[in-house]
Amino acid sequence: MEFAIAIQQQQYKTYILTDHHAQSRMEVVPERGGIITRWQLQDEEILYLDAERFANPDLTVRGGIPILFPICGNLPDNTYTIHGKEYQLKQHGFARDLPWQVIDQQTQECASITLLLESNDQTKQLYPFDFQVIFTYQLKGSTLEIRQSYTNKSAESMPFSTGLHPYFATVDKTTLQFQIPSTEYQDQRNKTIHPFTGSFDFESDEIDVAFRDLTDVWASVTDNSRNLHLHLSYDDAYSRVVFWTVKGKDFYCLEPWSAPRNAMNTGEQLIILEPEASLETVVALTVTLS
């Protein structure tokens, strides 16, 4: 059988999706934020994972592909205001910390798993809306497709932003070549604008920049140290691509965000769903090995 799904009880119940023909394998941990923790193609590790942080349920996961909802980035003092009332949300929201429910698995045309996150009393203390979020991870060949559906189950309009935070493994950042559909970026720490020439200064302790005014719906990275090419595509729900890395760590992040930091307060690029309305988005990652 070309496509398969297995379940392993590790620290958490882990779903392993495989495309045997392509030698592609992905691991998903629903109860740890619905996260993809691992993706291998022909024995190459595509994603980075800090195993120690992952093993500690009190820490956010640094690695894999965390889900950002209902905000991307952080808020001043972790605080935002809706209808005159203040609420608290940690950086990137709560979706990456909560358990998700598996509602479907398929092994016909691809290896696919569908996860559900619904509002509850805990989420409403942080975000006063009824919602349903559904993620479908599809593995086929050298492509991982992430299909998403956001539904407002409230009686009033629901504001949010959403994004993904993939951590890509690398062994030498200085060999990375970037194609990003933007000529400049904003440093997210000091808000300064800089022209983009295709590379970064990896001597910096941290790089945290947002590409805005995107002219296309894809970006790519060539990792010459690994003979690996990564193609990231996203739809027009995403208004920016964030690049983040830390000196001395073997990862870089290329993150599609629908809105900037603090959008819940400023309204900038915020998605607003009317009652019973849904938004569907898709992000795809394709890896080519040479």
What pLDDT, in 10s, does the model give residues 26-38? 999 999 999 999 9
Which H or E run contains 54?
helix 51-55
Instruction: Name the nearest CA neighbour of 131 among 70, 81, 177.
Output: 70
Count CB atoms within 10 A of the CB of residue 141: 13
pLDDT at 150 over 90: yes
- Angle 100-64-220 (CA atoms, 0-180°, nearest 5)? 120
| Contact between 231 and 142 (Cβ < 8 Å) | no
What pLDDT, in 10s, does the model give residues 241-265? 999 999 999 999 999 999 999 999 9
Residue ranges and CATH numbers for the domains of the chain are 3-289 (2.70.98.10)
pLDDT for position 273: 98
pLDDT exceeding 70 applies to what percent of the chain?
Answer: 100
What pLDDT, in 10s, does the model give residues 80-90? 999 999 999 99
pLDDT for position 1: 81
pTM: 0.97
Provide the mean pLDDT of the chain: 97
- Alpha-carbon gap, residue 194 to 31, rounded angstroms: 40
